[in-house]
Amino acid sequence: MMLRALAVRDFVIVERVELETGAGFTVLTGETGAGKSILVDAIELLVGGRADASLVRDGAERAELSAEFDTAKNASLQRFLADAGLDGDPDSVILRRAIDRSGRSRCFINGHSATLAQLRECGEFLVDLHGQHEHQSLLRAAAQRELLDAHAGAGDLALACADAWRSWKRLVALATEAEQQFARRETERADLEERVADLKKLGLKSSEWEALAAQHQRLAHGSSLLAGAQSSLEALSEADGACLPQLSAVASRLRVLSEHDVHLKGIVDTLESAQAQATEAARDLRDYASRVELDPEALREVELRVEALHAAGRKYRVRPEALPALEQDLLLRFKELELAASPEALQREVAAAKGRFDAAAKKLSAKRRSAAQVLGREVTQAMQNLAMTGGRFGVALESLAEPGSAGAESIAFEVATHPSLPLRPLAKVASGGELSRVSLAIQLVAAKASPIGTLVFDEVDSGIGGAVAEKVGRALKKLGGERQVLCVTHLPQVAAQADAQWSVSKSATRGKLSSAVVRLDRAGRIEELARMLGGTEITATTRKHAAELLGK
């Protein structure tokens, strides 16, 4: 799962840029102010960031952004798109956003008009932006909890805990309702008993309607199906001038002639293949005609059943095919009301449901506590290699006074970026560069557990250089082996580690600034790394150093 392509038009100082991105670790480099971070901003907008009129390029009517993502391995995203009526190609999703000069924004997912909230929710499946960005999933409590559960291998247990909580709360609500509305409940129970008994008489079966409709269609058109099969069979092989004998004659004639011209052999092969297929079709038609049912009595029985299901559907205001599901829903509600008629039995059910939730929550808490210690140690170790010597990472688990569907505790990622500082919530880390590096450390540890396929890092190299920058580059390259990584960088030590490099440059035409993006080959990368090493004046020495850095 990754970003395949990004297209940007009339956005800030970008007139038109199209990138086809690949797997692995890709860097965006260029001089300060060239527009590197603008491309990150474009991705942020495509996954639900805020927009305003200032983002439209001077002289343009609107800014247009689009991105295509490979989603072949993201079943959760496909379910979200299907439920929202926004599905498209099962292996990809296309996001598009247009911003006009008034600041009005329009969002599209797979060509369907979408809300900003839907675009944002879709984006959370696809991209994680790390840096000074509002779209930062690791700052969300829910994302921290999900990452810890994934790292603990507790995803299924978390779902079971949520299901147990909902079942418990449903029974609690039922018990409260039982106390408050006894008379109304008794009326509803009697009505439900009658409706359930009525539906039981029908002997409903799952998927019966589809099979019944197909059988009715076949029986009702038995005569025309048989006549059509027989007339087709005659035209193929049994009537005067039938297709098969003529096809055989043509093939025989051309087979003889092909001995004089090899160009006819291909035509003969095609005709012989057609003859074989037509012969097979005739055989299948004979078999089909022998099995077509002409049974008026069976048709009558099917029609009576169809009418009975139609009548029940009209009575209960559902489609016939929905009757089995309706019966199950009514039966469930009827059983609940029967429970409500016995307060003691209902309280036993409530206690049992709470016991099931408590047991699931206890198991989940134990797994979380164990995984929190491991995650804290591993991320702390990763921080030491990212210019955060002495920094610490921890996962705080605090018991909730009132447990919820997510379990019995709140979860918060905490970090101290210096040995003298106490652990504080990740969201309160002051520096965007520090936050990026902490996020990188977390992602390096949790890369295999996280479902998000594309990571974008901006300002990840803030405040570092030399050997530390090389370590950051290696870390990003390692992460690129797990998922797609896009990184804006000013450091040649980071850029040299990349699998691919794009150069962003800025130019002025008729007083208007514009950015351009070019994918660099090896020679181009050496030249760009030399610029990053030596500034505006590039010498043979800096080119040699750049080549060594790239080779290394």
For residue 185, give the DSSP letter: H
Closest by CA to 10, choosing from 66, 67, 53, 60, is 60
- Lowest average pLDDT, out of 176-190, 343-357, 405-419, goes to 176-190
**C-alpha distances out from residue 515 to 79, 131, 239, 550, Å:** 38, 22, 74, 25
pLDDT band at 9; cut points 50, 70, 90: very high
- Lowest average pLDDT, out of 6-10, 289-293, 365-369, 406-410, goes to 289-293
**Across 122-271, where does the E strand assignment appear?**
127-130
What number is the average pLDDT over the span 507-531?
A: 83
CB 463, CB 374: distance < 8 Å: no
According to the model, what pLDDT value does residue 463 have? 61
pTM: 0.57
- Lowest average pLDDT, out of 132-141, 210-219, 398-407, 527-536, goes to 132-141
According to the model, what pLDDT value does residue 464 have? 66
CATH 3.40.50.300 fits 2-153+359-519, yes or no: yes
DSSP strand pairing (484-488 vs 25-29)? parallel
Collect all residues with Cβ–Cβ distance below 8 Å to 5 and sequence separation of at least 6.
Answer: 18, 19, 20, 21, 67, 68
Half-sphere exposure of 199 (CA within 13 A, CB side): 23
What number is the average pLDDT over the span 8-19?
A: 89
Q: Is the pLDDT of residue 229 over 70?
A: no
pLDDT band at 269; cut points 50, 70, 90: confident
Higher pLDDT, 124 or 512: 124
Q: Compute the residue count for the chain.
A: 552
Collect all residues with Cβ–Cβ distance below 8 Å to 448 and sequence separation of at least 6.
Answer: 482
Mean pLDDT, rounded, of the chain:
83
Higher pLDDT, 182 or 414: 414
According to the model, what pLDDT value does residue 63 have? 93
Q: Is the pLDDT of residue 368 over 80?
A: yes
Spell out the long-range contacts of 249-256 with Cβ–Cβ below 8 A and sequence spacing 24 or more: 251/275
What number is the average pLDDT over the span 524-535?
A: 87
pLDDT band at 293; cut points 50, 70, 90: low
Pure H helices in 203-264: 208-220, 222-233, 243-257
According to the model, what pLDDT value does residue 223 have? 61
CB 437, CB 383: distance < 8 Å: yes
Q: Is the pLDDT of residue 135 over 50?
A: no
According to the model, what pLDDT value does residue 405 have? 92
According to the model, what pLDDT value does residue 438 have? 84
Q: Is the pLDDT of residue 532 over 90?
A: no
The pLDDT > 90 percentage for the chain reads: 27
Q: Is the pLDDT of residue 131 over 70?
A: no
Each residue of 423-462: pLDDT tens digit? 998 877 756 667 777 887 887 787 666 668 888 887 666 6
According to the model, what pLDDT value does residue 210 have? 80
Gyration radius of the chain over CA positions: 34
Q: Is the pLDDT of residue 40 over 90?
A: no
Higher pLDDT, 181 or 36: 36
Higher pLDDT, 274 or 7: 7
Q: Is the pLDDT of residue 476 over 70?
A: yes
**Which residue type, as a one-letter code, is found at position 443?**
Q
pLDDT band at 309; cut points 50, 70, 90: confident
What number is the average pLDDT over the span 178-193?
A: 71
Number of H helices, E strands in the chain: 18, 15
The two tokens of residue 258 are 């092909």
According to the model, what pLDDT value does residue 365 have? 94
Q: Which residues pair with 410 in a beta bridge?
A: 398
Alpha-carbon dihedral 311, 317, 322, 327, rounded to 10 degrees = -90
